[in-house]
């Protein structure tokens, strides 16, 4: 299912980033460690003028510990990029952020050349939680300089390290259909932009192949991993509905309720540590999307050419009349 969703404050965010970016040395992009590809905004590099970027795979406590290192390697192989994993239980996130940024801009040290960092992330990635933790320990200041929106916050992480938090949120730019469904499943997309049952079925389609044992453990399905993997998604959701008592009067299964149960369980980490994409899968989706985009562009170019020919022949006819 293709989800197209843009929070209303995206223009505010874009403007805030554009205003601040000229004085920034490193950009921190907070990502959801369960979706390190889909939770990134591919426009960020453009928006920030390709500044060095620290990718923080946040909520690592919810992600598959076998997959997070693959994603760290994937990002670390990119130019001007460094990646770390983090979660809200970390007692010293500031130290990790400082060390990560220093790797990208080692010369920004000391009071005369302080490190200036901008932090951004899509909704629900844990930015407010992290900012609150950081501000609780250090002094948070509201920006009062010309051109700086009132809500901009500057947090002093060290005497020579300033972190700027832009107002608003980065928006996910959904370029592959799979990303839309997975972002909706983890709660990054506004609730009115998707159908919970459709998203839960898509989620189960993925989980039954990759995390069948966790599904069995949570919902006491009493089935082997192979049997779960072979089940149709609808059948699986029905079974979960029955097991969890999502039944309406008259005995009809309440599939909406069952879908909500599955999504709530995923979001709360009750299903166990799960990641919804690997770098290889994500690259495959990107390649598919690129092929589709190329076909769309070719079709459009063909259509434009035909229109030009039609207009020219119409103009010729008018001249002859």
In the list 2, 23, 42, 128, the residue contacting ligand G4P (rule: CB under 6 A) is 128
> Residue count at the site for ligand G4P (CB under 6 A)?
15
Distance CA 217, CA 240 (A): 12
In the list 7, 123, 168, 180, the residue contacting ligand G4P (rule: CB under 6 A) is 123
Residue found under tokens 């951004």 = 120
Q: Which of 161, 103, 104, 156 is nearest to 131 (CA)?
A: 156
Does residue 142 belong to the site contacting ligand G4P (CB under 6 A)?
no
Does residue 121 belong to the site contacting ligand G4P (CB under 6 A)?
yes
Cβ–Cβ < 8 Å for 61, 269:
yes
Q: Pull the structure tokens for residue 68.
A: 């997070």
3-state secondary structure of 115: strand
Each as own residue / partner, the long-range contacts of residues 99-104 (CB below 8 Å, 24 or more positions apart, any chain) are 100/28, 100/54, 100/56, 101/25, 101/26, 101/28, 101/54, 101/161, 104/25, 104/26, 104/52, 104/53, 104/54, 104/80
Does residue 172 belong to the site contacting ligand G4P (CB under 6 A)?
no
Q: Judged by CB, which is closer to ligand G4P: 24, or 33?
A: 33
Under rule CB under 6 A, which residues in 258-277 are in contact with ligand G4P? 269
Does residue 126 belong to the site contacting ligand G4P (CB under 6 A)?
yes
Contact segment (CB under 6 A) with ligand G4P among 118-126, 177-185, 214-222, 273-281 equals 118-126
Q: Judged by CB, which is closer to ligand G4P: 189, or 240?
A: 189
Does residue 59 belong to the site contacting ligand G4P (CB under 6 A)?
yes
In the list 81, 109, 129, 254, the residue contacting ligand G4P (rule: CB under 6 A) is 129
Q: Give the residue ranges of the annotated binding site for GTP.
A: 58-61, 124-129, 168
């Amino acid at each position: 299912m293709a989800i197209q969703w843009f929070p209303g404050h995206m223009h505010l965010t874009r403007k805030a980033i554009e205003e601040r970016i000229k004085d920034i040395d490193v950009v921190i992009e907070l990502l959801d460690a369960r979706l390190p590809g889909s939770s990134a905004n591919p426009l960020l590099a453009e928006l920030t003028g390709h500044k060095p970027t620290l990718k923080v795979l946040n909520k690592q406590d919810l992600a598959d510990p076998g997959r997070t290192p693959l994603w760290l390697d994937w990002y670390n192989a990119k130019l001007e990029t460094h990646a770390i994993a983090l979660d809200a239980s970390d007692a010293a996130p500031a130290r990790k952020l400082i060390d990560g940024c220093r790797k990208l801009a080692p010369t920004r040290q000391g009071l005369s050349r302080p490190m200036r960092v901008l932090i951004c992330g899509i909704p629900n990635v844990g930015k407010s939680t992290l900012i609150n933790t950081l501000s609780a320990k250090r002094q948070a200041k509201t920006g009062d300089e010309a051109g700086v929106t009132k809500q901009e916050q500057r947090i002093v992480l060290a005497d020579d390290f300033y972190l700027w938090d832009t107002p608003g949120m980065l928006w996910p730019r959904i370029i592959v259909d799979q990303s839309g469904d997975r972002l909706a499943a983890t709660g990054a997309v506004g609730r009115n932009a998707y159908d919970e049952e459709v998203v839960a079925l898509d989620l189960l389609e993925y989980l039954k192949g990759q995390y069948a044992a966790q599904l069995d453990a949570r919902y006491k399905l009493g089935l082997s991993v192979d049997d779960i993997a072979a089940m149709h998604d609808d059948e699986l959701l029905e079974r979960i509905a029955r097991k969890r008592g999502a039944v309406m009067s008259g005995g009809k299964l309440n599939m909406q309720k069952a879908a909500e149960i599955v999504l709530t369980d995923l979001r709360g980490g009750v299903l166990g540590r799960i990641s919804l994409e690997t770098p290889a899968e994500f690259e495959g989706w990107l390649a598919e999307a690129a092929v589709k985009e190329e076909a769309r562009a070719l079709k459009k170019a063909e259509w434009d050419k035909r229109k030009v020919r039609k207009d020219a022949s119409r103009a010729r006819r008018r001249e002859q009349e």
